[in-house]
Each structure stands twice: as structure tokens, then as C-alpha cells.
């Protein structure tokens, strides 16, 4: 293989700089000799930071203004007790979280040929119309917004009849095989019997009409994930307990095909000789989901939303699962290897190594280029799920960036424990945070960039720091090797943009001002 010397240089540097990860392994296994031995664990190796500019604020102990939020924030190395998570949001704290309905919609929305009918007032549907970047290779009915648009009278007299008529109209117009009916808050209160209406409609039209119990107030976003998983279980259930014959394919849980991410991973799997059966739920359809139970095992990426489904499928259909993550070089290669291993097939394993080598080599030069310019920067992270957060810590490490603040909307206890293990002492960890806390810790920790979604973006820019979009609205893939380069490029494009040079000079910013023009190549 023809490897440019620059790229090779990159492999070596990455491999020897203390965060070996997969690059190191890849280089080592592919027979390139390294001048220095690899370190075996990245946890123990501190990140090189230009200490003169960036002294940690050791003496600031985060004291949240709101007593109730206290246990949901901790600093690694200083707080012993477990982080409080998976609770209801605190009133008045401007939580960044959405609702049960939002969680359910995120998971089910990518099912391409389904009608997603929101039973409720218009707003809930308006705000979620085609806001996500999921792609389809077939039908695109899922991009339409359907709502029963409940009005005052419906609220008083109940919305069941209107819902039934809505389903009639939609069936006549679009001939769908599958309709999801989402309940919203007021439906939960006015007491419409969703189950009954859906059952009757299904019978009448001979299609599947699945109620999604997603009344917004009944828990948080995680409850919505669960409601969606229940709806999916309902959908994949084989008819009349018929025995499904297993084949050698696998299902992929927790990829929503944002900007084609699913296709990227599916093709990797194909290249190493593994056939993907169906993904939950990126680019899936009624027909493909119906075949889900024949797969020999499941890989689970977005565990926060899908672990419940994975466990159920194991229990009901005897399909074991494996947690994976395709975010970042390290996780991608590692996940591919673990998937290959479960097949216990030498040919598959050989092809996997070949693919890892080839893909890594093809991007390492570019990643190295960015790394040289990003080394020593500090990141603050606030994302939806735990798996994303965990992967981001590693991904930033691949770029020489330390995560100094990290939080999620719906992370679980286990995920927070992993996060705690991965980050350096002094890193602030928080659950279900709000703009005030974000602002405070970004300042305290002197973060150079924030990772978040649409609501967090303007906060970062108002504070004059870089920002990375990491949400379901994005239009560029972050999965796999292609995604790893995209990510690095995005970080570089925002952190090293010339615009930050023009932030006004003032007491506080002077230091920061000098820092930015230094996005230049640094010797490692």
C-alpha cells in the first residue's frame, strides 16, 4: 500500500504519544516499526496542556445556585457520591431537555414508510416537523408532519372520534402499512383511549396502527425511548407465534441514519463479510423491520434509547447483543473487531483488519494535520445520550483535546461511571444541566469549545467560543472513519477560525485573544 510519509508520520506520533488507542495497534499490527514502545493505557497518561495559559481553577468548587441541582453536578476527583441522574427536571431551571414525546419521536421517526400521527394540539407536531437529518433510500412519508390538531372543543369532548377520522383520511390518501399514533400531554389528561382507537382502526383498514404512549409529562426523554421500544416490540412480533428461522445476519440498534451514517457502517460490515439485516431505525421500513427477529445477533450503538429493546429481544427471541460505538477512530475499529470476533470466522477477522488498516491510513494524515493544530485545547460537552458523551471523550483525545466539562440529558448511572473513569481529575460532570450552569463551567474551566445541539449553539457563540453540532439535526455524518475525519475537520474549522481573533479586547478576554491565533502547527 502506498502510504505518504506524512501519514506514516501521523500513525507513529499518535501511536506513541500516550493515548495509543487503535491507531497504535493498527500501526503495530500492520507491521510498521515504531521508534518508541506503546503505552498500554490512556487513562494514566495526562494530556499535555500549555500550562502557562491554562491553569485549572483548582480552588473553585462548583456550588450550583440551586440546592436541588447540587447532586447532579460533580467534579472528578473531588466528589465521592454517585451523580444523581434520570430524575425529573427541576422547575424553573431552564432544563435543556425535551419530553417523553420527543424521546419517542427521535427513535421512531426514521421509519421511512410509516405515518407518524401526533395526537394532540398543533404545536407538538409543528416543532418536530422534519427537523432531523435522517435519510431514506425508499419512501419518505416520514418527513411529513401529521397531527390531529386538537382544538378547544376536542379537549372538552375528547379527541377519540377525531383521531379515528384522521386515521381514515390518512389511510385513504396514503395507503400506509403502518401508522404510529403518538399521544401528547393533553391526550394523557383528557383520557382518550388510544389503544382502543388504534385497535379498531387497524382492524378496519387491515394495517398496523400502533399507539405510542408518549404523554410528555409522564417522565423524561428516557421514558419516551422506552415507549418507542415498546412500539417497536409490538411491530416486530411474529404473527401467531410463528417460529422464525434464524440466519447469519445482524441487526443494528440505535442508528438513525443521520446524513447516511447507517449506510457507512452497513458498507463496512459488508466489506468484512457481514450482512446487516435491519437497523433500528435508520432507513428502515415496515417490511424490513418485520424481519428483525431472524437476525443472529444485535449490535447496539445508542444504548440510552435501545438497551431496553436489546434486552427484550434477547429475552423474547434469543438474540444476544453487543454494545458498539462508531464514533471516532478508536471506537470504530474496536467495535468492528468485536463484531468480527463474535462470528469466530478467520476470514472475517482478516478482512476486518484489512479494512481497519486501509481506512485508518486513508484518513490519518488529515487527522494528524488537525491534531497538530488542536493539541491542548479544552472542550465542554453537553449532549443527549451517554454513549455519545463517552465516545466524545475518546474522540477528543485522538485530537489532543481534553474534555473539561461533560454532561448529558439522559445518561444512566453506568454511563456516568464510565465517564468518570475516562476523564481527568477536575473535570465537571453533570446531568440535565441548564444554560446558567453551562455558562458558569465554560468560564471556570476555560473551555475553548462546546459540543451540543441547536439550543446550546447560540450560547457558545455569544460567549465567543467554538461550537460543534452533535445532534439529530445535523446534515453531515460523524460515524465511522468518514465521520472521524468530518469531526476533526469540524473541530478545526470552528476552533481555528480567524473570526475569534476579533473578539473585543478586555480584561477577561485578553488572555483568550492571544490564544486563538496560535491554532498553528505545534511540534508534538
Give first-to-last CA distance, the chain, whole Å: 26
**Residue 201 in the binding site for other proteins (CB under 8 A):** no
**Residue 216 in the binding site for ligand SF4 (CB under 6 A):** yes
Residue 427 or 471: the one with the smaller Cβ distance to ligand SF4 is: 471
Closest C-alpha to 402, from 7, 16, 54 = 54
Residue 20 or 221: the one with the smaller Cβ distance to other proteins is: 221
Strand 466-469: give its sheet, edge to edge: 73-75, 428-431, 402-408, 378-383, 449-452, 466-469
435 contact, one of other proteins, ligand SF4, none, CB 5-8 Å limit per kind:
other proteins
Cell of 402: 481534553
3-state secondary structure of 88: coil
Site string for other proteins, 37-76 (x = CB under 8 A): ----------------------------xx----------
Minimum Å distance from CB 182 to ligand SF4? 8
Site string for other proteins, 84-113 (x = CB under 8 A): ----xxxxxxxxxxxxxxx-----------
Site string for other proteins, 113-142 (x = CB under 8 A): ----x--xxxxxxxxxxx------------
CA angle, 345 as apex, 297 and 21 as ends, to 5°? 80
3-state secondary structure of 98: coil
91 contact, one of ligand SF4, other proteins, none, CB 5-8 Å limit per kind:
other proteins
Site string for ligand SF4, 149-188 (x = CB under 6 A): -----------------------------------xx---
Closest C-alpha to 36, from 28, 44, 26 = 28
**Residue 219 in the binding site for ligand SF4 (CB under 6 A):** no
| Cβ–Cβ < 8 Å for 452, 383 | yes
Site string for other proteins, 418-457 (x = CB under 8 A): ----------------xxx--x-------------xxx-x
Q: How many CB atoms lie within 10 A of CB 515?
A: 18
Residues in 105-124 that interact with ligand SF4 by CB under 6 A: 120-124
Cell of 199: 385497535
| Residues near other proteins (CB under 8 A), total | 76
Helix, strand, coil content of the chain in percent (nearest 5): 50, 15, 40
Contacts of 297 (CB under 8 A, 6+ apart): 250, 251, 319, 320, 321, 322, 342
211 contact, one of other proteins, ligand SF4, none, CB 5-8 Å limit per kind:
none
Residues in 83-102 that interact with ligand SF4 by CB under 6 A: 99, 101
Binding interface with ligand SF4 (CB under 6 A) = 99, 101, 120-124, 184-185, 216
Amino acid at each position: 500500500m502506498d502510504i505518504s510519509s506524512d501519514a506514516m508520520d501521523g500513525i507513529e506520533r499518535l501511536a506513541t504519544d500516550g493515548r495509543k488507542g487503535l491507531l497504535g495497534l493498527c500501526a503495530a499490527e500492520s507491521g510498521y516499526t515504531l521508534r518508541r514502545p506503546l503505552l498500554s493505557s490512556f487513562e494514566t497518561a495526562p494530556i499535555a496542556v500549555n500550562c502557562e495559559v491554562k491553569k485549572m481553577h483548582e480552588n473553585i468548587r462548583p456550588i450550583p445556585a440551586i440546592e436541588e441541582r447540587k447532586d447532579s453536578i460533580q467534579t472528578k476527583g473531588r466528589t465521592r457520591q454517585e451523580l444523581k441522574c434520570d430524575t425529573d427536571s427541576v422547575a424553573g431551571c431552564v432544563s435543556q431537555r425535551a419530553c417523553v414525546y420527543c424521546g419517542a419521536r427521535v427513535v421512531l421517526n426514521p421509519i421511512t414508510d410509516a405515518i407518524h400521527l401526533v395526537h394532540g394540539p398543533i404545536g407538538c407536531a409543528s416543532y418536530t416537523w422534519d427537523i432531523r437529518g435522517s435519510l431514506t433510500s425508499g419512501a419518505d412519508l416520514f418527513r411529513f408532519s401529521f397531527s390531529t390538531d386538537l382544538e378547544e372543543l376536542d379537549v372538552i369532548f375528547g379527541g377519540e372520534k377525531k383521531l379515528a377520522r384522521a386515521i381514515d383520511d390518512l389511510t385513504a390518501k396514503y395507503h400506509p402499512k403502518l401508522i404510529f399514533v403518538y399521544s401528547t400531554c393533553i391526550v394523557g389528561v383528557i383520557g382518550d383511549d388510544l389503544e382502543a382507537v388504534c385497535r379498531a382502526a387497524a382492524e378496519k383498514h387491515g394495517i398496523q396502527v400502533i399507539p405510542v404512549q408518549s404523554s410528555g409529562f409522564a417522565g423524561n426523554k428516557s421514558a419516551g425511548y422506552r415507549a418507542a421500544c415498546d412500539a417497536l416490540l409490538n411491530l416486530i412480533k411474529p404473527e401467531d407465534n410463528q417460529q422464525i428461522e434464524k440466519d447469519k445476519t445482524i441487526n443494528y440498534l440505535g442508528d438513525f441514519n443521520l446524513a447516511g451514517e447507517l449506510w457507512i457502517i452497513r458498507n463496512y460490515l459488508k466489506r468484512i463479510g457481514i450482512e446487516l439485516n435491519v437497523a433500528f431505525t435508520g432507513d428502515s421500513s415496515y417490511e424490513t423491520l418485520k424481519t428483525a427477529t431472524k437476525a443472529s445477533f444485535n449490535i447496539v450503538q445508542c444504548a440510552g434509547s435501545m438497551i431496553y429493546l436489546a434486552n427484550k429481544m434477547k429475552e423474547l427471541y434469543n438474540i444476544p447483543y453487543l454494545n458498539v460505538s462508531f464514533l471516532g477512530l478508536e471506537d470504530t475499529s474496536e467495535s468492528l473487531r468485536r463484531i468480527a470476533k463474535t462470528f469466530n470466522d478467520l476470514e472475517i477477522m482478516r478482512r476486518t483488519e484489512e479494512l481497519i488498516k486501509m481506512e485508518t491510513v486513508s484518513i490519518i494524515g488529515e487527522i494528524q494535520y488537525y491534531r497538530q493544530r488542536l493539541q491542548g485545547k479544552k472542550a465542554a460537552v453537553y449532549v443527549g445520550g451517554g454513549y455519545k458523551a463517552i465516545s466524545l471523550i475518546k474522540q477528543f483525545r485522538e485530537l489532543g483535546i481534553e474534555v473539561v466539562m461533560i454532561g448529558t440529558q439522559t445518561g444512566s448511572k453506568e454511563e456516568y461511571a464510565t465517564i468518570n473513569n475516562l476523564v481527568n481529575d477536575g473535570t465537571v460532570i453533570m446531568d440535565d444541566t441548564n444554560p446558567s450552569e453551562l455558562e458558569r463551567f465554560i468560564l471556570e474551566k476555560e473551555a475553548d469549545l462546546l459540543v451540543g445541539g441547536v439550543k446550546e449553539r447560540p450560547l457558545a457563540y455569544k460567549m465567543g467560543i467554538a461550537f460543534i453540532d452533535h445532534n439529530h439535526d445535523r446534515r453531515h455524518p460523524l460515524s465511522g472513519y468518514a465521520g472521524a475525519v468530518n469531526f476533526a475537520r469540524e473541530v478545526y474549522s470552528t476552533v481555528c477560525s480567524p473570526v475569534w481573533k476579533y473578539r473585543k479586547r478586555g480584561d477577561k478576554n485578553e488572555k483568550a485573544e492571544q490564544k486563538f491565533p496560535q491554532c498553528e502547527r505545534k511540534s508534538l
